[in-house]
Structure 1
C-alpha cells in the first residue's frame, strides 16, 4: 500500500479551488520561497506517515460537506509532486469516487507528473513565482523554466489552470515582468483565472517557533493600488484576474 508524508488537512471554501474543499497538505518542498507562509511543511521527515487508504477514508468522512458546496479535494503542500506516486494514487482514488480533484503546485517538479496523474486532475493551481528567471532564482532557489514548461504541457493536455501570483513589493511587482507573464499566459488556452495574492506576514510566528529567520519580515506588503495595477495588467491581456 502506497504511503506518504502529510503535514495536515483542512476544509476551505473558495481559496483552494471551487466550492468547499478537503485540503490535504503534504510535507516536503524543493523550493525555499522567501515569502513562504508554511516553513513547517519544508521537510518530508517532519510529516506524519499515512497510507492512501487512511487519507481516502478521512476524505470520505467529509464528502457530504464538499458535495453540498460543489467542492472536492485539493492536494497542496509543501509540494505534492515531491511525493508523486502517493499524490497520483490519492487523486486516482478520488476520481473513482466522483470527486472533483485539484493539484496545487509550483510546477518545479512538473516532470514528475505523468499523463495518468494529470488525467485524474480536474484543475491545477499553478504558482508562478516570477517571470524573471534571475528574480525567480533569488526568490525561490529554483529555476523558472520547469514551471513554464509544465504550464505549456498542461495547455497541450487541456487541463484547466488557475494561476497564482504572489505580489511582493520590490520582488514581483516589476511592470515588465508582470506584462511578460501576462503575455505568456494569454497565449495558452487553458487559463481560467489569475489570482493576484498580496504578500502577507501571517506565517512569521511559524518561523519564530522553528528558530528560522523570516527573510521578508521587514518587506512592505502591497497596498490596494499596487494590487489593482497588477490585476489590470493581466486583464489588459484578456485574462480574468482576481
Structure 2
C-alpha cells in the first residue's frame, strides 16, 4: 500500500517521506523495498538501541533487520534521517552511543541525526488503556543530557571515518 501511495504521490510531484523503525525489512524482501526506494525521497529511521541484545530487551526483537535496512537504504541512494531516543539507564551509556556513531558513519546517504530526550508523555495513554507501561518509572531525560549524548555519537562517527582514511 505504501509503495503504491508513494508512486502516485511522485507522479504528482509530491515529496515522500517514510517514517519507520525498519523492523519489517528482511534480507529476503529486498525486491519490494527496491520498488519502494525508487519513490521515496527520505526515510526517517528510528534506531532504538545499537546493541543487539539490549535492543531485544527493550523492544522484544533484535535490531538486525533495522540495521540491515539502514545499510540497504544507503546502498540504494535513499536519504536517511536517523532518530535516536536517549532513555536514562537504557540507551544513554557512552559505549552504546559511540557504537551508534560508528554504525551511522557507514551510511553514505545520512542527512540528519536527531538525538531526542526520552519523555513520559505516552505513559498516560498506557494507564488509560489499563496496560503496564513498558519503561515503568524511567525518568525523563534532560535536554542537556541529550546534547551530551549527541556529542558522543558524533565522536564515534568521526572516529570511524578517521579510521577509514
Q: Give the TM bin, normalised by the shorter chain.
A: 0.7 to 0.9
Which ranges of structure 2 fall in alignment gaps of 5 or more residues? 159-165
Is the CA contact 1:125–1:162 (under 8 Å) kept in the aligned structure 2? yes
Is the CA contact 1:101–1:123 (under 8 Å) kept in the aligned structure 2? yes
Structure-to-structure mapping, 1:2-151, within 5 angstroms = 86-111=1-26, 112=29, 113-151=32-70
What's the secondary structure of 2:131's corresponding residue? coil
Is the CA contact 1:163–1:191 (under 8 Å) kept in the aligned structure 2? yes
RMSD: 1.3
The count of residues paired between Structure 1 and Structure 2 equals: 153
Which whole-Å deviations, capped at 9, do the CAs of 1:154-185 have from their partners, x for residues lacking one? 11101000001011000100111111110111
CA distance in 1: counterparts of 2:136 and 2:59, whole angstroms: 16
Structure 1 or 2: larger strand share? 1
Deviation at 1:198, TM superposition (A): 1.0
CA distance in 2: counterparts of 1:149 and 1:222, whole angstroms: 29
Deviation at 1:187, TM superposition (A): 2.1
Deviation at 1:203, TM superposition (A): 1.2
What's the secondary structure of 1:100's corresponding residue? coil
Which ranges of structure 1 fall in alignment gaps of 5 or more residues? 1-85
Structure-to-structure mapping, 1:153-172, within 5 angstroms = 153-172=72-91
Task: Return the structure number with greater relative CO, CA threshold 8 A, min gap 6.
Answer: 2
CA distance in 2: counterparts of 1:166 and 1:220, whole angstroms: 13
CA distance in 2: counterparts of 1:189 and 1:201, whole angstroms: 33
Q: TM-score with structure 1 length normalisation?
A: 0.61
